[in-house]
Amino acid sequence: MIYVWRQLLARKVRTLLCLLGVAVSVAMIVSILSLSLGMRRSLNRYMEASGASLIVFDRSAADLAFSRVSPEEIARLQALPGVIEIARANFTAVFAPELGERERPTGFSVIFVFGRFFDERMVEKYEEHLVGGRMPAQPSEILLGRLVAARLGIEVGERFPLFREEILGITEYEVVGIFETELSWENLGVVADARVVQEKVGGGEQYALVFVYTHGDDVERVRDAIENTLPGLIATRAGEFTDRFSDQMAYIDEFILVLQLIAATVGILGVLNTMMMSVTERVREIGTLRAIGWSRRRVVGVVVGEGLLISGLGGALGLGLGVAGTEAVIAFVSDGLLIAAYVLETFVQGSLLALVVGLVGSLYPALRASRLRPAEALRHE
């Protein structure tokens, strides 16, 4: 171990650069996994906050933005035994810098627009989170998330040209209230009348999500009934929303997997390059070790040990960098809109990545070093 350690210290700059390479790879993975998990959890929390027993959406939609539940399906939903009440929801997003005279620079230039019917139960949760004003009652009235209000400098009572076009005869909306929930991205949203949002999105009357309210004991039965009666829809408990939506979100997992492979490849190439250089420079030294009785296996152990030590230290640094980097991105780049969740599994995955990088990256140089005949190695200039 001392020999391994001193070999690395003898080439400080190279060791440090390789270590940083591994650290960046691991940090990238930790960051992506933590943000992905954080966003999934926050989406679940958003659904749970609705108070609905079940969330219903389009089984064939590749993304929530493409989920379409028709009025006919909603009518059949409402008629199912055990369904007490439903609430319809749709949404869109608008680009903030195009908001006319009130345009102000924002860190994150998208405003989410949550379409709701103001007389349906789903909108009640915003009443609990009002920090000013009152609940909207007409299509020309809206609620602003606290971040939108703060960033655009809009107060209750002011008028706001949300879409910068006339929809259902409305161009400017009266801000009747400002809300603040625990989810930062929701606070960068606007709650508007579902019919206005629907008109903006186009395609006739249809909704992305339907929130279904039942008695506690009826949830499973109602869920089965929905999926049996309406096979084109998925019904899921609010807290399990992202799990049930996983097929549709598989492309995110695939994207993460591709990034992991890229990170691993970059890390492996870094360790491979460093260890190959190290072994090439130490041919005589390895020959000497073999001459004084070190077996091939021991030489492999030393070289792999060096690779693992670099990647282990790089991995440990990467775990810390991953958390620090993620928090920095959340604070300074996303203005707090992204949400990260740090779990043991992520750190285990990051550590495993580092170990695989160290092992795979050093194995070939180690085997090459061990194959050297001592006499041949000692002749090396």
Partner 1 sequence: MSEPIVELRHVRRVFEEGRVVALDGVDLLIEPGSFVAITGPSGSGKTTLLNLMGAMDVADEGEVRVDGVPLDREAALDRVRAERIGFVFQMHNLIAVLDAIGNVELPMMPRRLPRAVRRERALGLLGQVGLAHRARSSVRGLSGGERQRVAIARALANDPALLLADEPTGNLDSVTGDAVMRTLHDLRARTGSALVLVTHNEALCAGADRHVRMQDGRIVD
By the rule CB under 8 A, 221 interacts with partner 1: no
Is 233 or 279 the residue whose CB approaches partner 1 more closely?
Answer: 279
Which stretch in 65-73, 113-121, 284-292, 311-319 sits in contact with partner 1 by CB under 8 A?
A: 284-292
What is the nearest approach in angstroms of partner 1 to the Cβ of residue 375?
4
What is the nearest approach in angstroms of partner 1 to the Cβ of residue 10?
5
CB 162 within 8 A of CB 175: no
Is 164 or 379 the residue whose CB approaches partner 1 more closely?
Answer: 379
Is 99 or 302 the residue whose CB approaches partner 1 more closely?
Answer: 302
Name the strand (E) or helix (H) holding 141. strand 141-145
User: Could you tell me which of 182, 80, 69 has the C-alpha nearest to residue 131?
Assistant: 182
Distance CA 256, CA 89 (A): 29
By the rule CB under 8 A, 2 interacts with partner 1: yes
By the rule CB under 8 A, 284 interacts with partner 1: yes
Residues 4 to 23 in contact with partner 1, rule: CB under 8 A: 6-7, 9-10
Q: Which two tokens stand for residue 105?
A: 């620079």
What is the nearest approach in angstroms of partner 1 to the Cβ of residue 6?
4
By the rule CB under 8 A, 373 interacts with partner 1: yes
Is 133 or 305 the residue whose CB approaches partner 1 more closely?
Answer: 305
Which stretch in 31-39, 41-49, 254-262, 287-295 sits in contact with partner 1 by CB under 8 A?
A: 287-295
What is the nearest approach in angstroms of partner 1 to the Cβ of residue 373?
6
Which of 70, 109, 273, 288 touches partner 1 (CB under 8 A)? 288
Distance CA 179, CA 78 (A): 30
Residues 290 to 349 in contact with partner 1, rule: CB under 8 A: 290-296, 298
Distance CA 302, CA 366 (A): 8
CB 237 within 8 A of CB 53: yes
Is 3 or 251 the residue whose CB approaches partner 1 more closely?
Answer: 3
Is 2 or 344 the residue whose CB approaches partner 1 more closely?
Answer: 2
For partner 1 (CB under 8 A), the number of binding residues is 23
Distance CA 33, CA 39 (A): 10
By the rule CB under 8 A, 375 interacts with partner 1: yes
Is 20 or 378 the residue whose CB approaches partner 1 more closely?
Answer: 378
Which stretch in 102-110, 266-274, 288-296, 361-369 sits in contact with partner 1 by CB under 8 A?
A: 288-296
Distance CA 292, CA 10 (A): 22
Is 7 or 187 the residue whose CB approaches partner 1 more closely?
Answer: 7
Distance CA 173, CA 350 (A): 48
Distance CA 62, CA 252 (A): 11
The answer to whether the Cα torsion of 276, 282, 283, 288 is positive or negative is negative
The answer to whether the Cα torsion of 225, 227, 230, 235 is positive or negative is positive
What is the nearest approach in angstroms of partner 1 to the Cβ of residue 292?
4
Give the Cβ contact number of residue 63 at 10 Å.
12
Cα–Cα distances in angstroms (integers) from residue 34 to residues 38, 40, 318, 352, 365, in the given order: 6, 10, 13, 16, 34
CB 170 within 8 A of CB 94: no
Distance CA 28, CA 10 (A): 29
Is 45 or 284 the residue whose CB approaches partner 1 more closely?
Answer: 284
CB 175 within 8 A of CB 158: yes
Is 174 or 285 the residue whose CB approaches partner 1 more closely?
Answer: 285
**Total H helices, total E strands in the chain:** 13, 10
What is the nearest approach in angstroms of partner 1 to the Cβ of residue 291?
5
By the rule CB under 8 A, 285 interacts with partner 1: yes
Residues engaged in binding partner 1 (CB under 8 A): 2-3, 6-7, 9-10, 284-285, 288-296, 298, 373-376, 378
